Each structure stands twice: as structure tokens, then as C-alpha cells.
Structure 1
Amino acid sequence: MNTVGELLRQWRHRRRLSQLDLAIAAEVSARHVSLVETGKSRPSVRMILRLADHLDVPLRERNHLLLAAGFAPRYPERPLDGDALAAAWEAVARVLRAHEPYPALVIDRGWNIVMANRALDPFLALAHPGLLEPPVNMVRLGLDPRGLAPHIVNLAEVRSLLRVRIARQLASAPDARLAVLYEEFLAGVHEEPVHQEVATPMIFRFDGREVRLFSTTTRFGTPADVTLDEIAIESYYPTDAESVAFFSSTSP
């Protein structure tokens, strides 16, 4: 098991910072950073969290840093639909409902779908039932030949965009399960997205009709819970009148 100093050094290297860079940002001496990383000085909880903050370490990994130093985890991980996060659950559910008739969904750090609004149903209806067994994974749903892949007109662009996003995510905070997903669907992908529009759309074909969508991603601003830190709301918007009409015709 790595020591807290070794873990901090790994995060510093991942962020491409020198000991001096981190020391200046955290307002401590470079010598102290060096002593912590080499294990010659045992950092306090406050110092660990201070360094982690300037290294932009996710909350789950901050707990790992604390455990490695012999301290209790600071950030709880509670189910989104539990009593403790009831207000957050209702806020997210309200955002999803308000976005109808256009699709919106909540994904966790592994791109598993946690919640979705009713506008996603026509897309799910295109997938093989085996891909809809919980947890439904957004990447697998989109790129598996049994899923949405045959219905995505610009599949190469979509795959390339996902590769860039997930590669960036893995570089920021490694995750073994996400790495497996990347290797399964995205490793070796070299297509480059075409930047001809403000945002590269996803183009779906439904019964001869093309539906063009672009997406936005929303996260909680100041989470103090691992679950909230790791979820994101993906909201999709139509790019043209024909796509608007499609959702108007399919909305309940």
C-alpha cells in the first residue's frame, strides 16, 4: 500500500507540477512538500486536504489520502436516492423533468446511468434488452452494435469525442473500471471530430428521420459527498426545427 507521501507525489506528477509549484500554490515551503512526499514528515489532516485541494484531487481519492496517513475518511459516500441526499435527488429530478421533451440523464464517474427523464425512452427502445440490465452504461449503450451505434449517423465523430472525454477523465483521476470500458470501445480510435459547427452534434436516424442533438454537462458546484462529486447531468438539445418537431411528436 502506498504511503500518503507517495500518493501525493503521484498526484503532483499527474498535475505536472514541481514541488515548488505546489508549495507556492499551497503557501507552504518546498522543503515541507519534499519531507511529506519522502515520508520524513507526517502531514496533518489539514495539510493533506490543503495539498489535495491545490492538486484538484477528487473527493474519493482524498479519502484514500487520509486513510494512507492513518486518518478517518472525511467525505461520506451516500446513495443519491437516500434520505441524506433527498434535497439533491429532488433538485436533480426537477432538472431532468424540466428538460423534457428533450433527453437528459445523470451519469456517475463510470458513465453508468443513474437517472433519466422520459425523453430517453425512444432511444432505449432501440437497444437490445441485454444492454438495459442495470447498471445501464452510457458508453456501452451508445457504441455497442446491439445498442445505438447502428442508428448514429456520425458514429466516428461521436466515438472520437467520447475517446477524448474519457481519456481526459482517466488522466485526471484513474479508474480501473473506466479504463476497462475505454479499452473495450475506444482504444485505438484515431478519428478526429470535424469542427464545422458551434458544437459537434450527435445525429440519430429514426425511421428515416434524422435527429440532431448537442449536449451540455452540469455538475454540483461545491459537493462534500463522494456521490455528488462524481455525478454529472448530461442534457441534450435539438439543433434544428426538424429535431424539435421529432421530440414534440414523441413526448408523452
Structure 2
Amino acid sequence: MTTTETPVGHLLRDWRKRRGISQLELASRAEVSTRHLSFVETGRSRPTPTMIVNLCERLDVPLRERNTMLLAGGFAPAYSEHRLDATPMAAVSEAITQILRAHQPFPAVVVDRQWEMVDANESIGTLIADVDPGLLEPPVNVLRLSLHPDGLAPRILNLGEWRAHLLHRLEQEIAGSGDQGLAELLDELRGYPGGAGEQHDPRGIIVPMQFRSALGDLSLLSVTTVFGTPRDVTVAELAIESFYPADAETAALLRS
């Protein structure tokens, strides 16, 4: 663990502004005085660890950044961070294994905060067959694998629409987390070819991925699953991306 050189008050102010919340509104949510909150942000008052966590909860700050703010305030991190194969994570790891197994014969993949593949079921092979082996060298970034010209992109029949959907989703995640690594990934993905006619239509109910596989043309809906009320950084940053058939033909092909 290393401390940050940015004062905790400045970090809190930055998150408040990122969320578009006034001092008055945040103070009301956190049940503190506006004057005290102002003093905290300017460094005139040192917040307690309880107050830092309280403000972070009201601002929906990710657990990793909450630990950063506690360190900046001179306090120990409040949230653990374990490897998925660590003993305390046994129940989480088993739950992920069961979800992936139960989702067969439909593809599913587990990703972390940076969209790097943590685990996947066997059916994911239907999507990643024939991609450049270099893109499958760990760590495998799922978004890069999807949109890279040597990845899935040449076989995504609605590439412009699907690409716009993924980029819009990534933009939202960056706005919510302020993650610089994701911002760099977004710049990289925007540089890939295949964006002709891409647009994000907010009126659409859901965007399926139309994919040409060795089994035939597939239409797949993506569903994201996250753990509720996580208290560990690793768990908070995990997501399971599950693909479901969008039509009867796709379901029959995958079950075959």
C-alpha cells in the first residue's frame, strides 16, 4: 500500500464534481453541515475515517478509490483485496464456477475492472475460434479481442452498431470511475477500423451482437451480472458477461 500525495479533501471535491453534486446536496445526503464539508474539501478540517467512508458512499465512489482516499487521509484502507484463488474468496470462486457451468451451452466470460478475462466457460470457444493467437495471450482484454481487426470484428455482422454500443458503455464506465486505464483503452479502441456508420441509438431496447460462427449466424444478447453489496475490492470489480440467444435459431445452433 502506498499513500497518495493528493489531499483527501481535494479527492472528495473531485468526486463530488464528477457526480455533478453541490456541496449543499452532498452535505444534506451525508447529514453534515455545508460549512464542515467545505472545510474538509479545502483542508481546513481533517475528516475522520467514518466521515470519509460516509461521503464516499453518498458519492458512489468505487471501493478501490475509497481505500485511496482513506490512505490520503492518513488512515488504513477499509476494504480488503484478495486474489480470486485466496481462501477467503472460496465462496465467490465457487459461485462463479457454478454460474459459468450452468450457462452452458451459451457463452459466458468473467472480466475484471479493466475488462481483462478472469475466467470463461467452454462455450466461449464458439466466439473466439480463429482469432489471432496473440490476442489470446494473457492478460486477454475482452473489448480489445472483440473490436480488434484480428479478433472477433471481421465476423461481427453488425460491427458498426455493436462497436458503438461497446464504446458508449466504456465511456459511461470511465465517467463513473475516472479510471485512466479505461480511458487509454477507449482511445485505442477508437483507433480500430470498422466504425463506418456507427451510432448509439438510446431508443433501442437492447443491442444484439450478430455473429458469423462455424455453427452458422448467431444473434446474441449480452447480460451483465455483478455481486451485490461487495466489501472486497476484487469482488466489486468482477462482472460476468453472459450471452443469451436472441432467437430460436441461435438457441438451436448453440445447443447442437
| Letter of the structure 2 residue corresponding to residue 214 of structure 1 | L
2:133 pairs with 1:129 = yes
Q: Deviations over 1:11-64 (max 9, x none)?
A: 000000000000001111101110100101100000000000000000000000
2:8 to 1, 4, 8: 4
Shift of residue 196 of structure 1? Answer: 7.9
2:209 corresponds in structure 1 to 202
Q: Look up the SS of the partner of 1:157 in the other structure.
A: helix
Alignment of 1:111-122 (within 5 A): 111-122=115-126
Q: Look up the SS of the partner of 2:181 in the other structure.
A: helix
CA contact (8 A) 1:193 1:200 kept: no
1:97 corresponds in structure 2 to 101
CA distance in 2, matches of 1:46, 1:149: 47
Q: Look up the SS of the partner of 2:6 in the other structure.
A: coil
Alignment of 1:71-90 (within 5 A): 71-90=75-94
Q: Deviations over 1:70-93 (max 9, x none)?
A: 001111111112211011000111
CA distance in 2, matches of 1:178, 1:197: 25
RMSD (Å) for aligned C-alpha atoms: 1.6
| Displaced runs of 4 or more, over 3 A | 187-190, 193-198
Shift of residue 240 of structure 1? Answer: 1.1
Q: Deviations over 1:155-205 (max 9, x none)?
A: 011110111111010011122221111001136968223578642100001
Q: Deviations over 1:101-154 (max 9, x none)?
A: 001111111001111111101222221110000111111100011110000000
CA distance in 1, matches of 2:17, 2:205: 34
| Letter of the structure 2 residue corresponding to residue 46 of structure 1 | T
Shift of residue 209 of structure 1? Answer: 2.3
CA contact (8 A) 2:215 2:253 kept: no
Task: Provide structure 1 residue ranges, at least 5 long, that are not aligned to the other structure.
Answer: none
TM-score, with normalisation over the residues of structure 1?
0.95
CA contact (8 A) 2:211 2:217 kept: yes
Q: Which is further off, 78-87 or 207-216?
A: 207-216
- Shift of the 187–2 alpha-carbon distance from structure 1 to 2, 3 Å rule, reads farther
Q: Look up the SS of the partner of 1:164 in the other structure.
A: helix
- Shift of the 56–152 alpha-carbon distance from structure 1 to 2, 3 Å rule, reads same
Q: Look up the SS of the partner of 2:227 in the other structure.
A: coil
How many pairs are equivalent? 249
2:200 corresponds in structure 1 to 193
* Percent of matched pairs sharing the same residue: 51
Q: Look up the SS of the partner of 2:127 in the other structure.
A: helix
Task: Provide structure 2 residue ranges, at least 5 long, that are not aligned to the other structure.
Answer: none
Q: Look up the SS of the partner of 1:220 in the other structure.
A: coil
2:177 corresponds in structure 1 to 173
CA contact (8 A) 1:151 1:206 kept: yes
CA contact (8 A) 1:159 1:186 kept: no
2:218 to 211, 215, 220: 211
Q: Which is further off, 221-230 or 172-181?
A: 172-181
2:166 pairs with 1:148 = no
CA distance in 1, matches of 2:227, 2:25: 28
CA distance in 2, matches of 1:118, 1:142: 17
CA contact (8 A) 2:221 2:243 kept: yes
